[in-house]
Amino acid sequence: MSVFEGFKFRKVSSAVHRLDPRIKFFYVIILFVMAILFTKLLALIVLFFIPLPFVFIARVNRQWLRSLRGAVFFAIIIFATNFIFGYFYPSSYTEITGAVDSLGEYLVLLERASAMTLRFVVLIASFSVFFLTTSPDHLGLALQQSHIPYEFCFAFTTAVRFVPVLADEAQTIMDAQKARGLELERGNFLKRVRNYIPILIPLIISAIRRSLELAEAMESRAWGASEKRTNLYVLKLKRTDYLLVLVSVLMLIIAVYVWLYVSIPSLTTLLSL
Amino acid sequence: MAIIETRDLTYTYPGATNPAITEVSVTIEKGDFVILTGPSGCGKTTLCRCFNGLIPHFYNGNLEGEIVVAGLKVNDHKIHQIARHVGLVFQNPENQLFALSVEKDVAFGLENFAMVRDEMRKRVDWALQMAGISELSERPPHELSGGQQQRVAIASVLAMQPEIMILDEPTSFLDPVGAQKIFEVISELNKKLGITIILVEHRLDLASMYANRVIVMDEGKIVLNGEPRKIFNSEKARLIGVGIPKVTQLYQHLKIHGINLKRVPVTPQETANILREVLKHD
Ligand SMILES: Nc1ncnc2c1ncn2[C@@H]1O[C@H](COP(=O)(O)OP(=O)(O)O)[C@@H](O)[C@H]1O
Ligand SMILES: [Mg+2]
C-alpha cells in the first residue's frame, strides 16, 4: 500500500523539525501570499528557491522531490489550460495585440503559462516542506494550543495513529480474499472497482468494531473527567522560532515593496536585450 | 475489607433476550489476586464491564441487583469517577492505545484528570518504570510487539494509580514469554503496591501461582469460588473444562494410581519439592 507510505510518521530530528509548527505554518502562509501576489515568472522563480534551504537542513530532499513529482500531473493541466485560454482569449494580455500571431506573442503566452504553473509548484513545495518536517504529534499539539476543540485534535492524531494499522489490515484482508479465489486485476474498469467490494466490507466492519473498542478504552481512562484537560507536552517558542517570524515578516515587507514600486521585467524582454 | 461487592447482579445487553450474567453475588477483598476463568461466552468480560461502570453507563441495557466498587455505588457514579479507582486492561493491545508515542498514551488518563504537568511527568515515568518499559517511552505504539503494547496499556492504567486493576485476557494475543512477563509485572503491582488484581485468564499453568483466589464462571453464573488448589482439584472444574494446571492433573493421576501426595500442587517448582520428599521417604 504505497499510497499510505507518505503518511507514515518518521521520527527524524533537525533544526527545522524542532521549529514550532505554528511558526512554520505562518512562514508557509507568507510564502503562499507572496506566490499569489506575483504573476511574473522571474519573481516566482525567486520564490521557488526560498524553501530550499529548509529542505536541505531537514534532509528531506528525497521525500520532497517525490511530492513534487506527484504534482506533475496537475502542473501539466494548469500549464495547458493557461496556454489554451490565452491563445483563444488574447485580449486578457496587455502585451498582445489582436490574435496571437508572432513569435514574441507566443513567448509572452508561454511565459505567462509557465508562471502560473510555477506558482502552483511553489505552493506545493512549501506546503510539503511543512508536512514533511512536522510530526503529527506536534501538529495535533499546535492545533490544540490554537484553541481548536480537543475532540477534533484527538480525532486527528488518532486517525494518523491508525493509518498504518488499517493499511496492514487491508493487506491481510486482500491476501485472505485472494486465497479464496478473488481476482482483483480482472475485467474492465467497472468490474475491477467492483472487485474491491469484498475487501472494503470486512475492512469497514472491522474499523467499526475497532472504534467501539477504542471508545471503551477511552471511557475507562476517564475521558471527559474535567472541563479543561492538561497536556503532557507544551509548545514553547524558542529563539529560532522568533528568528523565523522575523525572516518571514521581512520577506513579506520586501515582497509588498517590490510589488508596489518595482516593475519586474518579463523573462522574454530580459533575454532579448 | 471488601473492595468489590455485588449482590444478585443480573445484566441483559440491549436487544438481547437472555441475560449475559445472572444473579452474580461475589465479594473481592482488598489486596486479592483473583483469577476469573470459565469457557468463552460465560460472561467474564460482562462482569468486568460491571466492575468499572462501562455497564450500565456505556452499554445501557438492563442491570439489576447491587454493585459497590471501592465504596462507590456503580449505578450512581460516572465512568470517569470510577476510573480513579478501577483500571481496565483489554484483550486487544492494539485498540486501547491511541497516541503517537508511548509516554503520551500513558499520560492520557492523567491529562483527563487535568493533572499539572510536573506531577504528570513524574507519574508517567514511574508507571513506565513499574511496567519495565522506560526505554520505550518515545516510541510509537504501533511499532511495538504485542507484549510491549500490553505493558504500555498496563502502564497507562497504572499511572492513574487505581486500587483495583482488571485485566481481561491480557495475554491472548501474546506468546508464552510475553504472557509470563505480563504476569510478573502484575504480580509485582499486587505485592509491592497492594493493588487488587482481577485477571481473566485461560492459561492457568502460568498464572495460577500468583493468585490467592480463583473464580470460575459458567453460563453467566459463578459456579466455583475459592482457594486455587481446592478449585483445581475439584470434580466440577474438570467437568466445566477449566484449564487445570498440568501439575495438578499429575497429582490427580498419581492419586488414581494409589500415590497420595501431601498437598495439591499448582506450580512445577512446588511439585518437584513434594515429589522429592516422597521419593526420599521411599
Ligand atoms: N456488546 C454485546 N452486546 C450484546 N451481547 C453481548 C455483548 N458482549 C457480549 N455479549 C454476550 O454476552 C454473553 C457473555 O459474553 P462475554 O461476557 O463476552 O463472555 P466471555 O468474556 O466470558 O467470553 C455472550 O453470550 C455474548 O454473546
Ligand atoms: Mg471475554
Note whether A219 contacts B: Cβ–Cβ < 8 A: yes
DSSP per residue over B239-250, as a string? HHT----HHHHH
Nearest CA in chain A to B55: A216
Confidence at residue A265, expressed as pLDDT on a 0 to 100 scale: 83
CATH 3.40.50.300 fits B2-232, yes or no: yes
Distance, in angstroms, between A27 CA and closest chain B CA? 26
Residue A1, pLDDT above cutoff 50: no
Give first-to-last CA distance, chain A, whole Å. Answer: 53
Q: How far is B158 from chain A (nearest CA, A)?
A: 10
Question: Is the pTM here over 0.90, yes or no?
Answer: no
Instruction: Evaluate if residue B201 carries a pLDDT over 60.
Output: yes
Instruction: State whether A30 and A130 are in the same domain.
Output: yes
Question: Does residue A4 register a pLDDT over 70?
Answer: no
Closest CA to B139 of A150, A157, A55, A11: A11
Stretch 39-68 of chain B: residues touching chain A, C-beta under 8 Å: 52, 54, 57-58
Give the binding-site residues of ligand 1, using a 6 Å CB cut-off: B 13, 16, 20, 40-46
ipTM surpasses 0.95: no
Q: Which of B51, B80, B173 to mutate to test the interface with A (most CBs of A within 10 A)?
A: B80
Whole-angstrom CA distances from A80 to A110, A183, B51, B274 are 10, 38, 66, 88
Distance CA A91, CA A100 (A): 10
Helix residue ranges per DSSP H, chain B: 44-51, 79-82, 102-112, 117-130, 146-158, 176-193, 204-207, 228-232, 235-240, 246-256, 268-281
If asked whether residues A97 and A155 sit together in one domain, one would say no
Distance CA A51, CA A40 (A): 19
Answer yes or no: do A24 and A123 share one domain.
Answer: yes
Q: Are residues A96 and A29 in the same domain?
A: yes
Q: Which residue has the higher pLDDT, B82 or B173?
A: B82
Query: Total domain count for chain A?
Result: 2
Average pLDDT, chain B: 93
Whether residues A89 and A166 share a domain: the answer is no
Q: Is the pLDDT confidence value at A161 over 70?
A: yes
Q: Same structural domain for residues A128 and A149?
A: no
- Between residues A12 and B118, which one has the greater pLDDT? B118
Q: What is the pLDDT of residues A109-130, one digit of tens each?
A: 888 899 999 999 999 988 888 8
pLDDT of residue B200: 97
A211 and A263 share one domain: no
Chain A residue whose CA is closest to B123: A232
A110 shares its domain with A228: no
- Where residue A273 falls among pLDDT bands split at 50, 70, 90? low
Contact residues for A99 (Cβ-Cβ < 8 A; gap 6+)? A90
Q: Write the burial class of residue A196 (CB in 10 Å: 0-12 exposed, 13-18 middle, 19+ buried).
A: middle
Residue A248: domain span: 1-134+237-273
CA gap B247, B267 in Å, rounded: 7
C-alpha cell at position B201:
485468564
Per-residue pLDDT, B137: 92
Cα separation of B151 and B145, whole Å? 10
For residue B56, whether the previous peptide bond is cis, meaning omega lies within 30 degrees of 0, is yes
pLDDT of residue A9: 47
**What pLDDT does residue A7 have?**
44
Answer whether A215 sits within 8 Å of B58, measured CB to CB. Answer: yes
DSSP assignment of chain A: -HHHHTTS------TTTTS-HHHHHHHHHHHHHHHHH---HHHHHHHHHTTHHHHHHTT-HHHHHHHHHHTHHHHHHHHHHHHHHHHH-GGG-TT--SSS-SHHHHHHHHHHHHHHHHHHHHHHHHHHHHHHHS-HHHHHHHHHHTT--HHHHHHHHHHHHHHHHHHHHHHHHHHHHHHTT--TT-SSHHHHHHHTHHHHHHHHHHHHHHHHHHHHHHHHTTTT-SSS---S------HHHHHHHHHHHHHHHHHHHHHHH-PPPPHHHHHH-
Q: Does B103 touch chain A (CB under 8 A)?
A: yes
Residues 6 or more apart from B205 whose CB is under 8 A from it? Answer: B243, B245, B246
Tell which A residues from 1 to 60 touch B, by Cβ distance under 8 Å.
9, 11
pLDDT tens track for A45-64? 999 999 899 889 988 888 88
- The confidence band for B20, taking pLDDT boundaries of 50, 70 and 90, is very high
* Same domain flag for A228 and A245: no
A127 and A18 together in one domain: yes
Reported as a pLDDT band with limits 50, 70 and 90, residue B282 is low
Q: Which residue has the cell 508511548?
A: B102
Q: What is the mean pLDDT of residues B86-113?
A: 94
Instruction: Please state the domain extents for chain B.
Output: 2-232, 245-282
Bridge-partner residues for B87, per DSSP?
A: B165
